[in-house]
Amino acid sequence: MSVNVEKYREILAELQGKAQLVAVSKTKPSEDIRALYDLGQRDFGENYVQELVDKQGQLPADIRWHFIGHLQSNKVKYIAPFVHLIHGVDSDRLLKEIGKQAVKAGRTMDVLLQVHIAREETKFGLDDAELAAVMQAGAPVGVRIRGLMGMASNTEDQEVVRTEFRQLKTLFDRFFPAGGLLSMGMSADYPLAMAEGGNMVRIGSLLFGKRG
């Protein structure tokens, strides 16, 4: 088993009362998820639809599955019946499809809008104007927009990362004045994300080891 139990406990203690932990289990076997589940972890994050569907079928029904990857509209239907929170909604089209599939599945789906904060062009997400437009249009029937998600630049420069998280927090405060979920921070930068006001962190490699 490659789960780092000590690290898990350490992180939980650090987050206590401040942020929720989503344990990112993409590419890791179900046994590893089961090991953390047995320690009480219930929120797990996955990036790939087929992998998520397979694991959901093999693991306990009370796991809260977070979809944190880039979601294609034509695949929403596969996860709509059970997914707990979709973090990476980055288009109006995707939002509408989630609404359609939520209604079909007879449930309300919680989502986060992904904002592009990194310098890297390759990362997904809405820019400020697109975010404003989606917020103005409001959530379709069957969808609740619960907050924002973002990924900082992959850089050693802490000031760059801090600035990006701060920018996301500013948008969050503007669009969610009554509060909500702010999903930011991964293994390399979650302490900074929390310091800047994030309340949900997505941590993979620190818990499950490096991905191959």
Ligand X SMILES: *Cc1c(COP(=O)(O)O)cnc(C)c1O
- Range 149-168, binding ligand X (CB under 6 A): 151
Q: How far is CA 2 from CA 7, 28, 140, in A?
A: 12, 9, 41
| Residue from 160, 187, 197, 209 binding ligand X (CB under 6 A) | 187
Q: 207 near 43, Cβ under 8 Å? A: no
**Residue 148 in the binding site for ligand X (CB under 6 A):** no
**Residue 147 in the binding site for ligand X (CB under 6 A):** no
In whole angstroms, the minimum distance from the beta carbon of 104 to ligand X comes to: 26
Site string for ligand X, 64-93 (x = CB under 6 A): ----xx------------------------
Distance, in Å, from the CA atom of 101 to the CA atom of 77, rounded to the nearest integer, reads: 6
In whole angstroms, the minimum distance from the beta carbon of 112 to ligand X comes to: 11
**Residue 117 in the binding site for ligand X (CB under 6 A):** no
Q: How far is CA 200 from CA 19, 121, 168, in A?
A: 5, 24, 13
- Cα torsion 190, 191, 194, 195 to 10°: value is -140
Strands 43-46, 64-67: pairing is parallel
Please identify, using beta-carbon distances, which residue of 53 and 188 lies nearer to ligand X. Answer: 188
| Residue from 25, 41, 47, 56 binding ligand X (CB under 6 A) | 47
Closest to 21 (Cα-Cα) out of 44, 48, 4, 46: 44
Site string for ligand X, 11-30 (x = CB under 6 A): -------------x-x----
Positions touching ligand X (CB under 6 A) are 24, 26, 47, 68-69, 151, 186-188, 202-205
